Amino acid sequence: MIEAPALTIGIADYADPRDAADVIALLDAYARDPMGGGTPIGDDVKERLAGDLAANPQAFSLLARLDHEAVGLANCFMGYSTFAAGPLVNIHDLAVLPGHRGTGIGKALLAAVEAEALKRGACKITLEVLSGNPARHLYAACGFGDYQLDPATGHALFWQKRLT
């Protein structure tokens, strides 16, 4: 009998050395990918990240493990919707290791984020995605789409101004 690998998804404990190392390794793998900018995260970021996330009460990360190997990550932050007067969850990073893409891990991570968001009383989940990112098809299939209030005024654009 052949057994399929077991996928588990759980909230990362930033104080746990294994979870912290997995969050950092998966984020670094994502950063090295063209969709993450193609550049590894710096050593200074690697040193601070787990502690900074642990110190932020609005942060939570979900780790996807396949037979105990970390293969996917969702870094999320609680926010607030003024129009709904309620909490929201923003998926800041969603990453699946290249060798595991297309196997349902991303979909499972999104479902886990949604379950956690509902548990926390969130009114919506937000995320940003590059227009050329193939994952946008997964996001659309899971119910995500352009943000707009009125089609006549267009859809939202995500802009940035770098300060450092």
- Tens digit of pLDDT for each residue in 105-150? 999 999 999 999 999 999 999 999 999 999 999 999 999 998 888 8
Give every residue of the chain whose pLDDT is below 70, as ranges.
1-4
Predicted structure pTM score: 0.93
Two structure tokens written together for 109 = 């991570």
CATH code for residues 7-153: 3.40.630.30
Measure the CA–CA gap between 118 and 35, rounded to whole angstroms. Answer: 28
- Residue holding tokens 């789409």? 145
**E strands along the chain, which residues?**
7-11, 59-66, 69-81, 86-96, 125-127
